[in-house]
Amino acid sequence: MTTRARFARLFDRLTALRVRSRKAGELQAELEHELMRIVTADGLRAVERLLTALEVRDGRLALTDEQPTRRMWRQELANGRRELRITVVKNRLYRTTHVLYERVRKVRLTPRRQRIHVLQEAFYARYMAVGQKAYRDPSYRLTPPDRLLLLIGELEANGGFDQYLGNHGRRRAQAALAALLAVGARKTAVMLEMAMSPGATAERLSALDERFYRVPEDLAILTARHVGLKSS
């Protein structure tokens, strides 16, 4: 089986599953691992060639964001009720892959929910902007709020604790742990600390991933409020 056919099969298996099911989480992690292997060996262009050529369920993946060190793809599924999003980042110092398969809830936002949504978007925009500067220029000096925001954004952007620790290492994870406690994300801090424990098995990490996605803290909101981002 060719690489293209294997990826198409994996994506089709994923999008046939229930969102947030254990099996869906395992397939997302498998896809992230495979994409990481390709981007590490052959770079962003190789990932772009692969994903652009894929024939997957409900059509092709659409390239929605193209930056020198980042690509993002999106596909609507089930008449817009679900979506698949893929983010791949690679530069001289850092690489990550993220596959997100989720339900789309098209609801009318209350004024309060609208403010929360805007604040979340402000967090992700700031995280991407800070990351681009920090990863492009190792000598770039982050302000304390931006460093905290970057540490938490890196944790949320990875596809589970195992991949996060593999990408960033335990020293970076210790800094992220302090950042989580600073913004009040105590539940996530406990999970990260458990993931970092010397006896953490693959099964334990998988269970922590499932817990992280099942009972999430809104890291974007907690961080945005802590560093003083505005919702308007």
Q: What does the domain layout of the chain look like in residue ranges? A: 3-103, 111-227
Q: Mind listing the pLDDT tens digit for each residue in 97-129?
A: 889 898 887 656 688 878 888 888 888 888 888
Residue 106 belongs to what H/E stretch? Answer: none
3-state helix, strand, coil in the chain (%, to 5): 60, 15, 25
Q: Mind listing the pLDDT tens digit for each residue in 34-55?
A: 999 999 899 889 999 999 888 7
Q: What is the pTM assigned to this prediction?
A: 0.59
Share of the chain above pLDDT 70, in %: 94
Please list the residues that pair with 71 across neighbouring strands.
Answer: 66, 88
- Tokens for 134, please give them: 């920090």
Range in 129-133, 155-159, 177-181, 182-186 with the lowest mean pLDDT? 155-159
Residue 206 has pLDDT above 60, yes or no: yes
Q: What is the radius of gyration, based on Cα positions, of the chain?
A: 18
